[in-house]
Structure 1
Amino acid sequence: MGVVTDIRGRGRSASLVRAQKCRRIGRSGAGNVSLFWRIFSLNAAGLIVAAALLLGPVTVSTPVQPAEALVVAAGLAVLLAANAVVLRVGLAPLQRLGRAMATADLLRPGARAVVAGPAETAELITTYNTMLDRLEAERAAGAARALSAQERERHRIARELHDEVGQTLTAVLLQLKRVADRAPEDLRPEVGQAQEATRAGLDEIRRIARRLRPGVLEELGLASALRSLATEFTTHGLAVRHRIPGDLPALPEEAELVVYRVAQEALTNTARHAGADRAEIRFRRIADGVELVVGDNGKGVGTAAEGAGIGGMRERALLIGADLAVRPGSEGRGTDVRLCIPAGGR
């Protein structure tokens, strides 16, 4: 639950800072003349000028003289143009707000609408930005709770597979060995096949348990866990290389788990959907932290919508303040999943 407490606290503090900033900006814009008074003042000025002209040098005869019609038409055109300009300027912040609302994505946080325009518009944009801060903080806290519960459930299932199913299959193997020793000669091949099938099932159970609970991550560290992951996925026509130096900076436990799970999910997507025969894990130090890249030479993501796997990776990246990008490969082919973790993690 350490992850939950950390993320929740940081999410709320970041939300509070942004909300206070938005309120300060909103208050600074509160002195602007409102859109209502802008339009009212412009219309009133136009009507006053028109009345003054009609009472003064301009008169309207019956029938209307061409010069008089020209003056009235020109005044009307000026008034309409001025109204159009005021409305265009006044409503531009609302249009920007609409675009920001249409493109808002809680999995890609940080984007905010610019607080500008008349007082009512500035207040509306400030309220929207504050609401977005709260939604992002609540989303991060909820994701932290969900992923923490998911990890606990993974550990429980892995332990039951290892302790219960694994021990049962081991007992079956021992019993089959005793049967094979006593079985007639013509039945021994069939008993041997049963032994091989049971042994293969036991190996598969152990492999699933290792993927559910990466013991090598806890025992040997992140670099060894990533190398082991590359070896594990080097099968069924997929060759996975790794470039992982030994002088990487230490990361918090939560960040190491996120890096491992992102690499695991990226390789799983490669094996299932990419149609690739080569993949690579690169983990290196960069100027402001560390970077994980999982690339392949498959068919790429194209225009397909992001699935649950990529969405899950984005959720995990948010927990440690990392940036995750899914892009075409560096050679224009395949896919690169890039995770950038700031120095110190979160």
Structure 2
Amino acid sequence: METETVRPRGRVRAFSPSLRPGTRAVAVWLGGLCALWIVLLVLSPDALWVAFPLYFLQLHLLPTRWGVAAVLVTAAAAITSFVAHRQEIAPGAFIGPLLGAAVAIATVLGYDALFRESERRRELIVELVATRAELAEAERTAGTLAERERLAREIHDTLAQGLSSIQLLLRAAERTLPGDAPATAHVRAAREAAQANLAEARSFVRALTPPDLEHGSLAAALERLCARTTGPGLTVRFAVSGTPVELPTPYEVALLRTAQSALANTVRHAGAGRAEITLSFMDTSVALDVVDDGRGFDPAAVPVDERGDGGFGLPAMRSRAATLGGTLSVESAPGQGTALAVTLPVAGPVLGEERAA
């Protein structure tokens, strides 16, 4: 047998479904009970003592506003009955019923406030647990992506570059050998094997690249990043300068990650209304500029966040650029916006090797 637990939004209820608070059956039952009590009041003034449990019943079964009104009417009926039967007006006739009504109202309202606070804290705990789970998942995802980027960079910088150099040397050796020399065929076979392995290594690198770079170029990935970046009153534009060329995968990853970090800082800290990313292709280098018109900051006095990562992630961006032989510069001042520029040296032969195979 399946059971269902229903959490009430108000006070805890412990009645059968036919007497569930707020239903018509409750109103009829409670009205009949009060009518019976009034009959008892008419017959004997001692029935006023029944008013005290009746207070709590009314406050429990009726909505707060109607419950308080019913308690006050019940107290007035008790006082009226006492005065009518005793033919005198005594302080006790007023103090007893009114004090009982005040105690009942204070007790029930206090319990309601305690229950609401308990529910609020329970909901906060549920949200906290969910947030911790999301944070843990985000950290695992970030760790996985970081490890994939590290492997891609290592494969590109060691294995792929080594195979590329071997291929170039074998091609040079093949050109210097006579066409009918016995070693020519072996050199050609070695060069083709190196070329095939280089293509395989580069396919590994592509498989380990961030998802944003799996479909399309770096420019397309940056344009998508600008389109999905949102903030209060923030408009993000993207522009390309120069003739786009295919960059080595580590270069594209570094530039994309830098743009992501810079835009995240703009959304979280800058309070900017406009931001622009420009990707510039030059003869011997590629540059990424991220400019916003936000509140700016003093680069010489960058705060350190709670995780110990100082400078809004600037050290990580500088390290990523330095790994590829590039530079990162930041120009900013309080109230004057921020301009971040990353420049990576990219020689023509490197681009040619990246397109090879």
Give the TM-score normalised by structure 1: 0.35
Give the TM-score normalised by structure 2: 0.34
